[in-house]
């Protein structure tokens, strides 16, 4: 039996991370956003949640490419584009 310990496997260019502990595996990936989107949009319109709290970078729409680059380079988690 292997010694107890954590091993985190990060796969480049994939939104996936695997955690292993003594023959137990927890794996993650992208969230099924489309399933939750209608409910979330309604909560935003009803002003029950503020989506601005999840964005850590705000850019004008014409700098969308820079927003994607910042997220790819992990300088930003989510980018908000404004007209």
pLDDT value of position 1? 40
What is the tens place of the pLDDT at every residue in 9-62? 444 544 445 555 555 655 666 777 788 889 988 988 999 988 777 788 999 999
On whether the pTM is more than 0.75, the answer is no
Residue 5 pLDDT greater than 50, yes or no: no
Please check whether residue 78 is in contact with residue 56, taking contact to mean a CB–CB distance below 8 angstroms.
Answer: yes
Strands 6-10 and 79-82 turn out to be unpaired
Structure tokens at 6: 């954590």
**3 closest CA partner among 20, 17, 25, 27:** 20
pLDDT value of position 10? 47
Residue 4 pLDDT greater than 70, yes or no: no
């Amino acid at each position: 039996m292997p010694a107890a310990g954590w091993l985190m496997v990060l796969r480049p260019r994939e939104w996936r991370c695997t955690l292993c502990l003594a023959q137990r595996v927890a794996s993650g990936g992208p969230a099924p956003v489309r399933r939750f989107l209608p409910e979330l949009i309604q909560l935003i319109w009803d002003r029950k949640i503020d989506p601005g709290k999840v964005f850590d970078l705000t850019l004008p729409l014409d700098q969308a490419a820079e927003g994607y680059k910042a997220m790819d380079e992990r300088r930003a988690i989510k980018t908000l584009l404004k007209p």
